[in-house]
Amino acid sequence: EAQVTQNPRYLITVTGKKLTVTCSQNMNHEYMSWYRQDPGLGLRQIYYSMNVEVTDKGDVPEGYKVSRKEKRNFPLILESPSPNQTSLYFCASSSSGQTKETQYFGPGTRLLVL
């Protein structure tokens, strides 16, 4: 089944404790992206990757890192999480074919930083 998976789905952590949220897609998509969703603000892009070893900042990259060593994986790293990073995070991917602008979303990771 074609899908985008994220782990963990739920995470409670404390300020300053490094964490990684994994994202994997099995559709051989070139483009991958991370978003955060906060009430009243919609989805805001954190980072995106056009292909392996190519990453760029989105609208709200501060406090986050990403890497794209393999086509299928695009982990989101919070080196020193802070309470303002409490949010719902979504990973998404899209292909290079005719539907390249259509993005497929993962189920989300709900993060609480105490």
C-beta of residue 103 within 8 angstroms of C-beta of residue 36: no
- Binding residues for other proteins restricted to 55-74, rule: CB under 8 A: 58-59
Nearer to other proteins, 48 or 113 (CB): 48
Among 19, 22, 27, 44, binds other proteins (CB under 8 A): 44
The residue within the footprint of other proteins, chosen from 34, 48, 64, 74 (CB under 8 A), is 48
Q: Which of 45, 55, 73, 86 binds other proteins (CB under 8 A)?
A: 45
94 binds other proteins per the rule CB under 8 A? yes
110 counts as binding other proteins under rule CB under 8 A: yes
Chain centre distance of CA 10: 14
Pairing of strands 65-66, 42-51: unpaired
80: which strand partners?
A: none
With respect to other proteins, which residue has the nearer C-beta, 74 or 90?
90
Q: Which residues pair with residue 35 across a beta bridge?
A: 45, 90
Which residues are CB-contacts of 94 (< 8 A; sequence separation ≥ 6)? 29, 30, 31, 100, 101, 102, 103, 104
Name the token pair of 78.
């919070």
Binding site for other proteins (CB under 8 A): 4, 31, 33, 35, 40-45, 48, 50, 58-59, 88, 90, 92, 94, 99-108, 110
